Amino acid sequence: MKAKTSTEATAPTPKKVSEERDLDVEKKLTSLYALQRIDSEIDAIRTLRGELPLEVQDLEDDIAGYESRIEKLQDEIAEINQNIAERKHAVTDIKAQIKKYDKQLKEVKNSREYDNLNKEIEYQTLENQLHEKRIKEANILLEKKTEDLEKLRHAREERQKDLELKQGELNEIVAETEKDEKELMKRSELYQQRIEPRWLHVYSRIRNNAHNGLAVVCVDRDACGGCFSKIPPQRQIDIRTHKKMISCEYCGRFLVDDDIKEKAEELLNKEKK
């Protein structure tokens, strides 16, 4: 009888290759479900924060908006004050000029010079009246702008108080959960490295589109644990055999059975210890 060569003795049988392939798929499914469990815990922490991060951001944006409007108003008020100051200075000069012309009137020697001085006094008087009118209008506008500025400052202060309150609440929650979240993020990254890029890409895409962040779900009562659509019996058998990655025909989520779920839970608990 011919003896087997060393190569023939160690060559894997088709059955062994199939078992190894099945085990590889099972490991992928286990890692994928474990990743989902970790990411769901991260989601729960972020849900605990609720809308606070968005509320804080909205308040910060509101305050920035108020700051911009306040700055603009302050510039407008400064411009009005400058305009008033310039017109007051002009009024002072005009009054001095009119006083000078009045003095000259007493010393004129002919009617032509007298008429010219009177015309100049009349013109300066009209200029003075125009400046006085513009100063009065500017003061009215200044009063309104100043009131608007005070309202904006008050609104900004109220928003600032709200921001401090919301930021305090957020900081408190972050302080309580930051350590756990960082640890979970590290574990999530670790499991992502165990999963093929193409499956990880699909997983991430489904998670981003799912309202509950679930990309891997168990079969529950013959239905998808994500969209609750019925799963055909033959497809359920394929899921239980762990020979290939199975996705829901309706929502695209990865489907696993209770066996994979238990293996993933055991793996996670072992790592925690």
Residue 57 has phi, psi (to 5 degrees) of -65, -40
pTM: 0.56
For 50-177, CATH number out of 1.10.287.1490, 3.40.920.10, 3.40.50.300, 3.90.550.10 equals: 1.10.287.1490
Quote the DSSP letter at residue 3.
Answer: P
Average pLDDT score over the chain: 88
Q: Which residue, 231, 222, 219, 230, is CA-closest to 261?
A: 219
Q: What is the pLDDT of residue 158?
A: 96
* C-beta of residue 131 within 8 angstroms of C-beta of residue 87: yes
Task: Please give the C-alpha separations between residue 143 and each of 73, 77, 129, 166, 254, in angstroms, as whole numbers.
Answer: 12, 9, 21, 35, 67
Task: Please give the C-alpha separations between residue 214 and each of 32, 97, 125, 206, in angstroms, as whole numbers.
Answer: 11, 86, 83, 8
Q: What is the pLDDT of residue 4?
A: 45
- Delimit the domains of the chain by residue range: 14-48+196-273, 50-177
Whole-number Å distance between alpha carbons of 87 and 132: 8
Q: What is the pLDDT of residue 14?
A: 44
**Blockwise average pLDDT, block size 10, the chain, 273 residues:** 42 44 79 94 86 90 96 96 95 93 86 89 93 95 96 96 92 85 90 90 93 93 93 92 91 94 90 69
Q: What is the pLDDT of residue 23?
A: 57
* C-beta of residue 214 within 8 angstroms of C-beta of residue 51: no
Q: What is the pLDDT of residue 60?
A: 95
Q: What is the pLDDT of residue 3?
A: 46
